[in-house]
Structure 1
């Protein structure tokens, strides 16, 4: 029988409870919620579905008269951008002591890659391929945020991103749905822990549901149009993984999806999220997204916008106040059922109850815990470790890196050499003044015995044509034994509302690099890149002997970069987004389809460019090391599998270089013949392996029948017999290969 187009892509699991609550605990909390719900008026219920921002200005937090009045009246259920133990206690007291039922507020905040201790941007964290490290970073963020009175973090951002023009790629895990799913699980577990009532946990929020990473032209807030097959195969799996890990909440996306704004799409929320996945947490909009239904052109005024959003399954309205103003009248007219209101409020109250707020509203607002739990030495050390692991060595001709420890003069040239603006956007309560600049990190590493020369040379401002500082930068570079070029973007250039049509180095940085490299001759020159997206580096790659992708490394940026540059840490990061040769290639991603006329079959009539190769500058999974790794003796334990048999795959990994190093061994599969077109390869597993010089280790991977499943043309998950190719290597474009057969 042919399934309807909305058939589940992933078989429904048992009820997806927030925080992985046990059935017993869920029943206890539900009884608590129902008792409260029975006593609530319609206005109080709608208040729980309303979220407003707190009033915070440059002089510090304060409670404004408008929000104070609403909180006292029970017309606010959640406040965002509220943190600080004393401030959140003040807000909470307004609700608990003044509203009729004393229902506590839920405080939310964008804690994306750290609260005060800032870790690398999420795209950088993903490049570490260290799931334990990513989970630890999320737990530290939760510990600090909770100590400052926050209950709920608007993260993880799980939008699959294949277009680096989109500024928010910095906030997500990259281009691969399988790896993004593993990262989603790690982040949710790090934030929420295993006991939501512990005071070092936060409720997580998977965003943006759904398809936001596929905005046309890479332009923020733009349209998305894709097949149900692509949506369910590529863009939804990370969200499903997050919910399976107990993620408490989901946030809507700004974009329209196949002609309907996501915030008013019943397919996403009622059909997929609730019916198929059985999600029991609540859905919150992104900032003013209900109001924006009018601008999309699908709602004629606030009343219709509120009606469409709530009936689509959106439980909480962030900031625009449309629910507060309109839901009462909509219920009275019968356009919205009060049962739908009750359903939303149950979900919201369940999260509050699970966090222990109904029993102790002030449990997170603890000044002493705030004083002792934020920006600790241990947290900074964890940030430094993950920053080092996130960095990707893109090029290292003639072993320029690591730099010699015997140099006496080092020149640091470029606009990002002596700035503390290295923590990236979406840095919560992070303070750039508490971050370690590259110059400071180098001074910490080298001491006073090495002279550091520094010049900005050129601006990294978009549109700048100023070359007046290049001559001085060249002069200083000529005086040094070695040169570090610190280049990249400004933090605000990789952020929300920060799309770029031209993703080359901004300003005259390329000219600065060219002049310096030409002037110093054979002296070592290492380029360190600080940025939040894959850049178009083709021209720089042609002249730069060594390039280290550092992303925005966070609070310990300078120390971590210095560790890598001088060999105290051997880089092991691998890209999770493809770097294009030209922006004209994007969207560009490794797990693309083949075509009927792939390149190499016919010299002219092929899917190819006339002016550049199809291949990227740096592929997904790519990253060099200061040592060399070799793969050999790929061996399958049998030529075919059937039924529930698993295939054992063994490969030998050898560190053939002279330094201890960590390699990320990646396993890819290709379905050679199927009922629908399949990707040329798909990541299915990986192992991070640390080897001493000369050491070899046999790695074992397992392939099960479930890993061979795919979504067919009828949107059903299928496993079909046939031939498969396995590839294990150092990137998506390298490695040992072998074939096996899946039998009936």
Structure 2
């Protein structure tokens, strides 16, 4: 080098380079090196595991592998409408069916984004608190539930996005994108599409049911949402269902698992069984002789994870017997560890932005604000005769009645977390009106009966061995055995814990038990009723005699016993309780049963300026595999879709007052309300609205929010509208195939303003295989600002079997009074296709009726310009 200056520059550059921090190369194993690809790291890790260690990682509660520094991890977590069942306080959004009623993919995206952030904060805090490896603190969420809500009797339909495949697919995909994030390397959280596939009740039969549907129904209704989330949504996980399909358990189905999911859709994520579904192979479906055979078959069909405690332990023996190879086991274990590596669980916190999420995001202001927004968006105004709503805030007296008026359980739905504050309808109305209006509240009825327990405070009458209160003994097992962890006096028996939450001292709410003992001293001769309510199992004895027994799992079960008392006499009360899993709660209350005289009640309310009845049903009646002893309900499902008769009877009495009557209905499913639809002037469907439900309800009732929710399910008029519950054929089901007249149709929802449609623009014809551009103008022609949900429907003029009409586009827009906006949609060939009898999709030539508007098309909607229609010809 001739130029000394150049030589000097080179020497400086070399010296500078040598001073940089050297690349870290002192990892013991390749899988620990974050600079390596995830595939290389996973291959290295799995190669170091014994067969027994591999199998253990295929259970949801995967143990630590201490020799390699792999921490324990429990895959089981839920985030249906906010992080569920966690021991920490979280934001609770409206139940999934309520979020579907928003018809707003952006809102779903933000809800999932916020929930994932809260989940990250919980995961980070759990590690800091030494709770790593516990259930409900992980980052693998078994959500969304994208089963088609084909029948309103299904108790878990509340967890879905409704009855329409397209709406379900679009909302589900938005949820997945929000939850999983957009980082090119790391997942914010891992979503899981469930329950794959053809699964929607009945709940009592789900472990034995064998479904057979036509190829047409399979591909036209039951699979589109799963295909959208797997192929285009890139969902991380899939959960296979309990039931069998065409003679094979879903988790071991040749068609569903092998042919479609893995081969056609090329899904390379992980599959988990529904919880204890592999056990069903040999215990209930009887398709396999034992756990060894069942587990081998499930893994060979691509089920990587066993949510359970027994079945997959048989995989070790299955390998030894030659039923499956260890190499096949490796495929599943690699899929599982790939997810954990994508979540950044083995990388430095500094490299994973999500791992730096602070605990301050829990219940943060933006999250709480969005929970309120979604509750507002979800409310559907079903009827508003003579503009009864909105009510004036200047009314002097308002009566608020009904079993859901002050019911926090209904507000929170199922698969829920616990927020710091819950606003019921009663609380929301009182807060809205302030001291200027007298608000009178009476529960008046239960959901199904006119006789209810009126509670009284008897805690002053509790004592034991000269000490006031109740002796509480807590055990760290479910059997009440051994020495109690803690024995202490408490004021009464009224407890609720999330799983993993601290019960006493260091004992957590994981499979514990408790015994509560006290002497109740009667202050009068007569009858008092004791009611015990518990989540899981309990038994109640009085003076050594068992009077109530719910020792088998009893989700939100309340039972009562009438005790004949003698003044001055003491009675020994003992409640024994155990937690089996999930939320834990146990309560003892006392009171007197009283029958409500509806006419006397109506007479007392004649001076009210308006009456608001908050009824419907509740997660106490509908949900997952529940024991419910009420007429019209069975196992978590409903045997009748009619509103319980007692609620209709009380509204008849309330209507006789002549005062404005508003029916606020909470539900997770469609309820038939033929009398109410005909006679009650205003009906509001509020679903299970989350932590801010009461605020949102009050905002709508008193005009501070203009409702724009739309029904994601058909509200039928009577039970006879429905085919048999266990018939999975779509004939005469949902708006797409129902030939009768619904009470309120899919997509229905009123506003305090009016919207009109015109200038629908589509090409006269299009060649098969091309996209179609659709434009329509919507105008807020009323007197108030408001949201409108623009819905796009297609109806094929075809001799082939096809839906009456199908939703193929929707947009929620905000318009000021007098404002117009042109809304654009693009229909692709897939949107214009129909499914043949053989299950294959094709785009037929011929005429397609395209409708754009605020509802499904009918003569009234067309004449009032609520919708616009044109015919497209496919060449």
Superposition TM-score tier, normalisation by shorter sequence = 0.7 to 0.9
Q: 1:208 aligns with which of 185, 191, 195?
A: 195
Matching residue within 621, 624, 627 for 2:753: 627
- Alpha-carbon offset, residue 296 of structure 1: 1.1
Partner of 2:870: 738
Q: Which of 333, 345, 359 pairs up with 1:357? A: 345
CA distance in 2, matches of 1:681, 1:422: 33
Unaligned runs of 5+ in 1: 1-24, 53-75, 78-94, 595-607, 609-613
Distance 1:368 1:704 in 2: 41
8 Å contact kept, 2:848–2:874:
yes
Counterpart in the other structure of 1:603: none
1:665 aligns with 2:665: no
Structure 2 residue 462 is matched with structure 1 residue 445: no
C-alpha contact 1:196 1:202 (8 A) present in aligned 2 = no
Partners of 1:395 and 1:546 within 8 A in 2: yes
Tell whether the 8 Å contact from 2:144 to 2:193 is kept in structure 1 after alignment.
Answer: yes
In structure 2, C-alpha distance between the alignment counterparts of 1:235 and 1:312, rounded to whole Å: 20
In structure 2, relative to structure 1, the CA distance for the partners of 1:697 and 1:264 (3 Å cut) is same
Partner of residue 652 from structure 1, selected from 767, 777, 781 = 777
Change (3 A) 1:591 1:323: same
Query: Deviation at 1:226?
Result: 0.6
1:137 and 2:137 are equivalent in the alignment: no
Change in 2 beyond 3 A, CA 1:723/1:136? same
Secondary structure (helix, strand or coil) at the match of 1:457 reads coil
Change (3 A) 1:317 1:258: same
Q: CA contact under 8 A between 2:400 and 2:442: conserved in structure 1?
A: yes
1:120 aligns with 2:94: yes
Partner SS for 2:677: helix
- Equivalents in 1 of 2:355, 2:196: separation in Å? 35
- Listed one character per residue, the Cα deviations across residues 526-581 of structure 1 (whole Å, up to 9, x for unaligned) are 11111111111112212211000000000011111111111111000111100000
2:50 equivalent to 1:50: no
- 1:276-319 deviation per Cα after TM superposition (whole angstroms, max 9, x unaligned): 11111111111111111121121222222222222222111111
**Could you give the per-residue CA deviations for residues 386-442 of structure 1, whole angstroms, max 9, x where no partner exists?**
0000010000001011111221211101111123223333343325x7211112111
Residues 225 and 643 (structure 1 numbering): CA distance in 2 closer, same or farther, change over 3 Å? closer
1:31-73 deviations in Å (ceiling 9; x for gaps): 1100111111111111111123xxxxxxxxxxxxxxxxxxxxx
Structure 1 length normalisation: TM-score? 0.83
Q: Does 1:641 align with 2:766?
A: yes
Offset at 1:477? 2.8
Provide the secondary structure at the position in 2 that maps to 1:492.
coil
For 1:693 and 1:405, how far apart are their aligned partners in 2? 23
Residue matched to 1:488: 616
Gap regions ≥5 residues in structure 2: 1-33, 84-89, 124-137, 453-593, 626-635, 724-731, 859-866
Alignment length (residue pairs): 652
Alignment partner of 1:551: what SS?
Answer: coil
Cα deviation, residue 467, structure 1: 4.5
Q: Does 1:713 align with 2:847?
A: no
Compute the displacement of 1:513 (Å): 1.0
Give deviations 1:365-406, integer Å, cap 9, x for gaps.
999966422122321111000000001000000101111122
Which residue matches 1:682?
806
CA distance in 2, matches of 1:615, 1:424: 32
Classify 1:99/1:583 alpha carbon distance in 2 versus 1 (closer, same or farther; 3 Å). Answer: farther
2:605 to 438, 461, 477: 477
Post-superposition offset of 1:177:
0.7
Query: What is the Cα deviation at residue 718 of structure 1?
Result: 1.5
Please give the alpha-carbon distance, in whole angstroms, between the structure 2 residues aligned to 1:635 and 1:369. 47
Distance in 2 between residues matched to 1:260 and 1:425, nearest whole Å: 33
Task: Give, in whole Å, the separation in 2 of the partners of 1:527 and 1:631.
Answer: 30
What corresponds to 2:467 in structure 1? none
Q: Is the 8 A contact 2:349 2:356 kept in 1?
A: no
Q: Which moved more, 1:216-225 or 1:406-415?
A: 216-225
SS in 1 for 2:788: strand
Give a deviation string over 1:241-284, Cα, whole Å, max 9, x none: 22222211111111122222212212211211111111111111
Q: Deviations over 1:62-100 (max 9, x none)?
A: xxxxxxxxxxxxxx25xxxxxxxxxxxxxxxxx26x355
Identify which of 572, 586, 590 aligns with 2:722: 586
Distance 1:677 1:717, change over 3 A: same
Q: Quote the Cα distance in structure 2 between the aligned partners of 1:506 and 1:456.
A: 15
For the residues of structure 2 that align with 1:125 and 1:363, how far apart are their CA atoms?
Answer: 34
Q: Does 1:568 align with 2:721?
A: no
Q: Distance in 2 between matches of 1:163 and 1:463?
A: 28
Closer/same/farther in 2, CA of residues 317 and 706 from structure 1, 3 Å limit: closer
Distance change >3 Å, CA 633–CA 684, structure 1 → 2: same
Looking at structure 1, the residues matched to 651 and 775 of structure 2 have their Cα atoms a distance apart, in angstroms, of: 44
Instruction: State which of 300, 306, 310 in structure 2 corresponds to 1:317.
Output: 306
C-alpha displacement of 1:180? 0.8
Matches within 5 A, 1:139-538: 139-149=113-123, 150-195=138-183, 201-213=188-200, 215=201, 221=207, 222-243=209-230, 244-294=232-282, 295-324=284-313, 326-360=314-348, 371-431=359-419, 434-461=421-448, 467-468=595-596, 470-471=598-599, 473-497=601-625, 498-506=636-644, 508-519=646-657, 521=658, 523-538=659-674
1:695 aligned to which of 819, 822, 825: 819
In structure 2, C-alpha distance between the alignment counterparts of 1:392 and 1:740, rounded to whole Å: 32
Counterpart CA distance in 2 for 1:393 and 1:673 is 35
Q: Deviations over 1:570-626 (max 9, x none)?
A: 0001111000001221255445459xxxxxxxxxxxxx7xxxxx1110111111111
1:630 is displaced (CA, Å) by 1.7
Q: Within the alignment, does 1:618 sit opposite 2:744 as a pair?
A: yes
What is the TM-score when the length of structure 2 is the normalising length?
0.71
In the other structure, the counterpart of 1:602 is none
Q: Closer, same or farther in 2 for the Cα pair 1:370/1:428, shift >3 Å?
A: farther
1:88-131 deviation line (CA, Å, top 9, x unaligned): xxxxxxx26x3555255254312211122111110110010011
Once the 2 structures are TM-superposed, how far is the Cα of residue 490 of structure 1 from its aligned partner? 2.3
Three-state SS of the structure 2 residue aligned to 1:416 is coil
Helix, strand or coil: the match of 1:148?
helix
Contact 2:708 2:789 in 1 (8 A): yes
Q: Distance in 2 between matches of 1:216 and 1:398?
A: 40
Question: Separation in 1 of the partners of 2:297 and 2:35?
Answer: 30
Greater radius of gyration (CA): 2
Indicate how the Cα distance of structure 1 residues 590 and 167 shifts in structure 2: closer, same or farther if over 3 A, else same: closer
Q: Give the number of the structure whose residues are more often helix, by fraction.
A: 1
More strand by share: 2
